[in-house]
Structure formats: C-alpha cells, structure tokens
Amino acid sequence: MAVYAFFKGKVVPVEEAKISVMTHAFNYGTAVFEGLRAYWNAQERQLYVFKLPEHFARLHRSAHIMRITLRYSVPELCDFTLEVLRRSEFHQDVYIRPIAYKSSEVVGVRLHNLEDDFTLFAMPFGKYVEREEARCCVSSWRRIDDNAIPPRAKITGSYANSAICKTEAVENGFDEAIVLNPNGNVSEGSAENIFIVRDGALVTPRVTENILEGITRQLMMQLGEEELGVKIEERAIDRTELYVADECFLCGTGGELVPVVEIDHRLVGSGHTGPITKQLQKLYFDIVRGVNKKYIAWCTPVYV
C-alpha cells in the first residue's frame, strides 16, 4: 500500500517527506500538532474523519500561541487531509498527524525571525491504551504550567512532560498516568483528559487546571448532558477524590474513551466499568464510525 503525506505544499509519497537534522522544530520542539482519527465503517465501505474542522481550528490557535504562521485556512487543511487519505486508499482505522513547525535550519532558541511550514501524514492506528479497563497511578511528575509551556496548545516540545509521566507509569506496572498540576489538583492523563463520576454527576477539571482544551472532552460533556441527562461539573479535583469516585475514565482523540478501574492500587467504584462510562463509550464509538446518524454531521466522509 502506497502511503502519502502533504509536504512543502504538495502531496508526495511519505518516504519523500523528510526534514533536515538542522530544522529548528526538531532541535527545540518549536512545532504544534494535532491528532485526528478516521474510522472505517465496513458496512458502508466508508472512512469517516471525526471532527475534522474542529481539530484544524485548534491547530490555528496553537500556532498563534507559538507565533507560527499557518498560511492555510481550515477548509484548505481539511481538503489536504482528505486528499492524503484518498491517495493512500486506507480501508481501516487511521490516525492523522498535521504539524505546523519552525522550518528554518538554524541554531538558536527563539520564535521570531524564523520560517514556518506545514506537513501532514496519516497511518493505520489501533488502540492507544491496550487494555479495555485501565489501571492508573498518580504520577510523581507535575503537569506543565500555562506560564511555562502553555498546555492548551499542542506543542511538540511539551510532550516530553507526557512521555516522562507515561513511562514512569508503565514501568511501575500501570497502564497510564494521572498527572497533577503545580497546585496539586488533578489535571489530566499523560495524553488524555480525565472525568470522574460522583453521586451521578460527571466531573472534569476546569480548563484553568493546565489541561488541553480537548475536543473529545467537550463531546463527553455534551453527550453526558444531552443524551444521558447527567449533571456536568467543571471544577478542581483533589487527588484523594479520585480514590472515592464512583467511576473514572480517560478520553481523547488518540486515547478514545478508556475506563479507569483502579488508581494507585485502589479500586474505582466496583472495580469495573461503570454505567455512565459504558453508555458514553457506546455512544462515542457509534458516533465516530458514522453508525449513529443523529451526529453524522461531525463525520466527514473520505470516499465520495
């Protein structure tokens, strides 16, 4: 199967999409990115990209924070994505990675007086967290702060923080990390937003707790309120509130929706996926695969 990428203003075979070792973004992490998923619907023989324009709108916001000029509009970026997917002829679930980056081949830490560029590639991709129900630990590392490296922007360099937390968790026998912010409040997973259920309410950290303003996070709040009729709370969550939660799950485009059944060797609720989490999980996968036609407008078909 030939796989293609968008690079230097055109669609090329992915093996031709190469940058220099001197590229500023490679040396200093001065790039922003998005992660999108496209889901294969075997019954319809269709590949659906979920929340396509929403992801590129966020990429523009991240680029603005990092003083990266992204010269393509959201509709143009959507068109490039669809062209790459069609040329690659994917007939399975796919992960899409667009990157806007400082492309100058220079040494020196800064954001100003540098050239900018954009690239995009896609690849077949399965589950991010392998287990159906995850065991988590609270990381000994803290989440980056908005006044240090803004977490609301998807900055490549900031994911060193995520990598440290994830590896610590896995090497200690867990599936994923839960990270606290500098104030000691729950922030998010290593690369996912987090929700707990307490007394029937769906609770998630506020955007001011150094979280990524997640597209899937917003979706969970909308579905929880509109489809399940549960109360939504955005507020600070203490570490020990994780231990007494009735349910817990992580969510994100890459991570999808992963139930959390144990935190720091303490069972969450019954130790199995809770009823609210289970309902949201089914809703989510029916929506992203284009099965639930009520929300089909959120799914962009690749093959016409």
Active site residues: 154
The answer to whether the CB of 132 falls within 8 A of the CB of 272 is no
What value, to the nearest 5°, has the Cα angle with vertex 78 and ends 55 and 71? 85
What value, to the nearest 5°, has the Cα angle with vertex 56 and ends 55 and 58? 70
Using CA atoms, how far apart are residues 122 and 125, in angstroms rounded to an integer?
9
Q: Tell me which amino acid residue 72 is.
A: Y
3-state secondary structure 124-178: ECCCCCCCCCEEEEEEEEECCCCCCCCCCCCEHHHHHHHHHHHHHHHHCCCCEEE
The answer to whether the CB of 47 falls within 8 A of the CB of 41 is yes
Which long-range contacts link 230-233 to residues 24+ away (Cβ below 8 Å)? 230/197, 230/200, 230/201, 230/202, 230/276, 231/200, 231/201, 231/202, 232/201, 232/202, 232/204, 233/201, 233/202, 233/203, 233/204
Who contacts 55 (Cβ-Cβ below 8 Å, separation ≥6)? 34, 35, 36, 98, 215, 253
Tokens of 177: 């990390």
Who contacts 240 (Cβ-Cβ below 8 Å, separation ≥6)? none
The answer to whether the CB of 83 falls within 8 A of the CB of 7 is no
The answer to whether the CB of 224 falls within 8 A of the CB of 230 is yes
Who contacts 107 (Cβ-Cβ below 8 Å, separation ≥6)? 22, 27
